[in-house]
Amino acid sequence: MRRTLGIEVALVLAIAVGVSAARGIVSFTAALAAAAPVSTQAVRLNVSRAPDRPYVDLAYQLIAAVALVLPALLAIHLARRDSSWEQIGLARRWWGRAVAAGVAIAAVIGAAGLALYLGSRALGTSLEVQPSALSDVWWRVPVLVLAAAANAVLEEVVVVGYLLRRLDQLGVPRGWAAVISAVIRSSYHVYQGLAGVLGNLVMGWLFARVFQRYSTIIPLIVAHWLIDVTAFVGYALLADRVSWL
């Protein structure tokens, strides 16, 4: 049973975030090896795939969002075979309070993350992160909101709800489980540089502890979604007007 669960966890993580982590590590290694300083390099998120064909580009963006959600659905399906909705953090009793709790968490984590990013940029240890590189088309904002939701669902379902439930079943102490969850979360943000690693390490540990304390990921999904919406949409609308973005 333990061996089967261990293999399952490894496969789910590899499918959901493993490839992204590997790409991120290679990307940041390449940035370090480049002739230009890390601080002068940039990484772009939510990139247009067919900028000269808006509806083809829209189709690509929607497919990308679905591709993010599918591993989360797989994790839920696997966990639900032997766990309740509450044990994986999706208890309905929390849904009514999720928005308020999520807003509060987003405000704290978002402000701290922005300060860490700006500080890291000033020290030259992080790349410039451009959260949106989509063309200025009518569907840009809705797609960015959808992308934020897809990212939030993927990460909080897999790296918090599913993973911590499985680690508990495998007998991993809760303290170590929270650290493992945090390290995994930071691993696929390495491409951003020091700010991405440290910020997501802290965020990952705090989110894991919230789940362990309250047995819910709903506020975490809401908070993550709000943080990403603010970053994605805010950058798209303000990048040309605010110099430090």
Strands (E), 128-167: 128-130
d(CA 71, CA 172): 23
Q: Which two tokens stand for residue 33?
A: 């090896």
Q: Which stretches of the chain drop beneath a pLDDT of 50? A: none
Contact 215, 95 (CB under 8 A): no
d(CA 228, CA 219): 14
Quick check: helix, strand or coil at residue 82?
coil
Contact 113, 230 (CB under 8 A): no
pLDDT score recorded for residue 221:
95
| Token pair 């995994």 in the structure block, residue | 184
d(CA 241, CA 245): 9
Q: Tens of pLDDT along 9-21?
A: 999 999 999 999 9
- Model's pTM, two decimal places? 0.93
pLDDT score recorded for residue 239:
66
d(CA 82, CA 177): 19
pLDDT score recorded for residue 158:
97
C-alpha distances in angstroms, 164 versus 45, 71, 209, 216, 224? Answer: 28, 16, 10, 11, 18
pLDDT score recorded for residue 36:
86
Of 224, 55, 48, whose CA–CA distance to 145 is shortest? Answer: 224
pLDDT score recorded for residue 57:
95
d(CA 185, CA 43): 18
pLDDT score recorded for residue 113:
87
Q: What are phi and psi of 42, to 5 degrees?
A: -135, 150
